[in-house]
């Protein structure tokens, strides 16, 4: 894996609150490759349109709709992942999964995942704590 250039790292640190993160590293990589000017907009391609690949990886991860399974709505749908402000929000710490996975999970699996996520100390070192969605048997 290639290292990021100092210019890209510096631009990502200025733009994002949390560094390193997946989004910040994608931005830094784009700056290093010349696709994005730091602080500017992304260059548009003239002939080809960029489509999300059907395969896995980071492109798929970015394109998925992430929802909070710890805060379901009354109509059976889910709230979008995240909170606007953790300090002033009344919502508890979110357990986020892709919508497709949330639909496949049973009520017991959702409750277990949320319970394990909220039992761990969150925000240690400024980073969220990762907890597996499914418990090992």
SS3 of 84-114: the string is CCCCCCCCCCCCEEEHHHHHHCCHHHHHHHH
Domain assignment of residue 31, given as a range: 1-38
pLDDT per position as a tens digit, 72-103: 888 888 888 877 776 777 777 788 899 989 99
Cβ distance 29 to 7 under 8 Å? no
Residues 27 and 68 in one domain: no
Q: Which two tokens stand for residue 44?
A: 């548009």
Q: How far apart are CA 40 and CA 86, in angstroms?
A: 29
Exposed/middle/buried for 109, CB within 10 Å: 0-12, 13-18, 19+?
middle
Has this prediction a pTM greater than 0.75? no
13 occurs within a structural domain = yes
Same domain, 79 and 27: no
Q: How many CB atoms lie within 10 A of CB 78?
A: 20
At 47, is the pLDDT very low, low, confident or very high (cuts 50, 70, 90)?
Answer: low
Residues 31 and 67 in one domain: no
The reply to whether 68 and 118 lie within a common domain is yes
Is 21 inside a domain boundary? yes
Give a yes or no: residue 56 inside a domain: no
Asked whether residue 76 is assigned to any structural domain, the reply reads yes
Q: How many domains is the chain built from?
A: 2
Give a yes or no: residue 45 inside a domain. Answer: no
């Amino acid at each position: 894996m290639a290292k990021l250039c100092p210019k890209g790292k510096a631009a990502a640190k200025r733009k994002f609150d949390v560094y390193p993160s997946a989004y910040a590293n994608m931005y830094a990589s784009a700056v290093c490759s010349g696709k994005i000017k730091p602080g500017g907009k992304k260059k548009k391609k003239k002939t080809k349109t960029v489509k999300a690949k059907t395969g896995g990886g980071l492109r798929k991860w970015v394109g998925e709709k992430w929802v909070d399974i710890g805060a379901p709505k009354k109509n059976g749908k889910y709230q979008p992942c995240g909170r606007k402000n953790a300090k002033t929000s009344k919502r508890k710490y979110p357990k986020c999964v892709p919508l497709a996975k949330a639909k496949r999970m049973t009520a017991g699996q959702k409750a277990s995942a949320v319970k394990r996520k909220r039992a761990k100390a969150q925000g240690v070192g400024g980073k969220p704590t990762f907890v597996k969605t499914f418990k090992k048997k």
